[in-house]
Structure 1
Amino acid sequence: MNQTPEYAIETNLLNKIYQRNNKKLAKHALVDFTIKIETGQIYGLLGPNGAGKSTFINVLANLVVKTSGTVKILGFDIEKEKRKARSAIGIVPQELNLDPFFKPVEVLETQAGLYGIPKKDRDSMGLLRILGLEDQAYSYSRTLSGGMRRRLLIAKALTHKPRVLVLDEPTAGVDIELRHQLWDFVRELNSKGTTILLTTHYLEEAQSLCDHIGIINKGRLVANAPTKDLLDSLDRKQISIKADVKQKDINIQIDGVSSVEKSQDGYIDITYQPSKTNFFDILQQLENQNISIVDIISKETDLEDIFLEFIRGNKK
């Protein structure tokens, strides 16, 4: 009986250098990139444009040859066990690269043939049905909307029933309703045992879907933790108060309060470090100044705050 590997994707000191004509201009796209994505996770890989996300995905897909380091997919080395590694993973690219003269059912049948799947074991219509494309099965791909083509690419990646699915910006350019439909589909797929690696520019998407987050910047993995731990790591919170007083009349003398500013909606924003003070100490000082608070809002840390901290180099 084969035991399920602990890691769906595992890299060790992965490097990719794009050589140019002038060696001084060589681009180091991945720098000692080491990552372990546990089997069964929904893992979000975030980073600015040019950070190395696409290079990493292309290495997984065997579209780009790594310079050094090791890469394993479900324990299969992508060089030594190329066929097994390739069969273990499905990749949905960001680009909507479909032959305009192929029909969706033909796209899936062709893909199944490339993976050597016998006709009796194929379920092209079933996949199209699951992704809401059954009615378009015999329409030309060029007639499909952007959202439909996105779903067809997902179906194509699932044709060989991979246990690891990589989604590169899966909701780019789709409307809100379809975005949430895709989220639900990803959750359902994951609940059935598929490991998901997701790259996205929508931080709300990553925060909602992913149980683990990695942040890549300039080819390096600068953050890697469970989503909740990452959100808890930022030593900055903000409360917004509405009071019958002007901003200049508020005098908070507490170590850890970094700013007191008036916002456009008439609230006064107080930013503080939870490691040095807390919400109740601030309220106590306001009460001591006989400031009557009409309303108060506590702003929770979100993934955007964390992302910006790491990208700007404020966190180590």
Structure 2
Amino acid sequence: VDIELRRSMWGFLKDLNDKGTTIILTTHYLEEAEMLCRNIGIIQNGELVENTSMKSLLSKLKSETFILDLAPKSPLPVLEGYQYRLVDTSTLEVEVLREQGINSVFTQLSAQGVQVLSMRNKANRLEELFVTLVHDRKGESA
């Protein structure tokens, strides 16, 4: 399916769902599932291993890694209390533990005169969680 048709199809399904129709989505594209679904079931080897709300499932993430695009000529940032690395002169990668929150990152950067132009997750959160769940379950059965 090309990009335009895919977007149109997802828009139609979202509108239908917003009007009260339940839609059962089967997919390996976890990024789309995260965007479109309020509830999720994860099946591994024919067994339902998770069946909960998307919000509840994502709350199990211990940390998230964010990519921050910095304004050109921003000073080199220093972040206390976070693991981070400068990817290039205008891209910062920051790992934020769930209990830390992200506000302090922006407070510290602002105090240093660093302007953040945009922010995104480094990886798909649901995909990261799925890999962790599958890995943990494999460890239990070994």
TM-score for the superposition, normalised by structure 1: 0.34
Q: Does 1:291 align with 2:118?
A: no
SS at 1:268 equivalent = strand
The change in CA–CA distance for 1:311 and 1:284 in structure 2 (over 3 A counts) is same
Q: Does 1:267 align with 2:91?
A: yes
| AA matched with 2:134 | I
Q: Does 1:225 align with 2:52?
A: yes
**1:171-218, CA deviations, whole angstroms, 9 ceiling, x for partnerless residues?**
xxx112222333244345546665332111222321232221112223
Aligned residues of 1:244 and 1:294 also touching (Cα < 8 A): no
Task: For 1:202-281, list aligned pairs within 5 A.
Answer: 202-239=29-66, 240=68, 242=70, 243-245=74-76, 250=78, 252=80, 254=81, 257=82, 259-264=83-88, 266-275=90-99, 277-281=100-104
SS at 1:263 equivalent = strand
| AA matched with 1:274 | R
| AA matched with 1:230 | L
**RCO greater where, 1 or 2, for CA within 8 Å and sep 6 or more?**
2
Aligned residues of 2:42 and 2:51 also touching (Cα < 8 A): yes
Q: Does 1:199 align with 2:61?
A: no
Q: 1:303 aligns with which of 112, 123, 126?
A: 126
The change in CA–CA distance for 1:282 and 1:181 in structure 2 (over 3 A counts) is closer
State the partner residue of 1:180: 7
TM-score for the superposition, normalised by structure 2: 0.66
- For residues 190 and 209 of structure 1, the distance between their equivalents in structure 2, rounded to whole angstroms, comes to 9
The change in CA–CA distance for 1:265 and 1:207 in structure 2 (over 3 A counts) is farther
State the partner residue of 1:96: none
The change in CA–CA distance for 1:220 and 1:280 in structure 2 (over 3 A counts) is same
**1:131-179, CA deviations, whole angstroms, 9 ceiling, x for partnerless residues?**
xxxxxxxxxxxxxxxxxxxxxxxxxxxxxxxxxxxxxxxxxxx112222
Shift of 1:265: 6.6
RMSD over aligned CA atoms reads: 3.4
Structure 1 runs not aligned, ≥5 long:
1-173
Aligned residues of 1:212 and 1:226 also touching (Cα < 8 A): yes
Shift of 1:292: 2.7
Aligned residues of 2:64 and 2:125 also touching (Cα < 8 A): no
| AA matched with 1:292 | G
Structure 2 runs not aligned, ≥5 long:
none
Task: For 1:1-316, list aligned pairs within 5 A.
Answer: 174-187=1-14, 189-190=16-17, 194-239=21-66, 240=68, 242=70, 243-245=74-76, 250=78, 252=80, 254=81, 257=82, 259-264=83-88, 266-275=90-99, 277-283=100-106, 291-295=112-116, 297-299=118-120, 302-313=125-136
The change in CA–CA distance for 1:238 and 1:312 in structure 2 (over 3 A counts) is same
Identity %, equivalent residues: 33
The change in CA–CA distance for 1:265 and 1:234 in structure 2 (over 3 A counts) is farther
Aligned residues of 2:109 and 2:115 also touching (Cα < 8 A): no
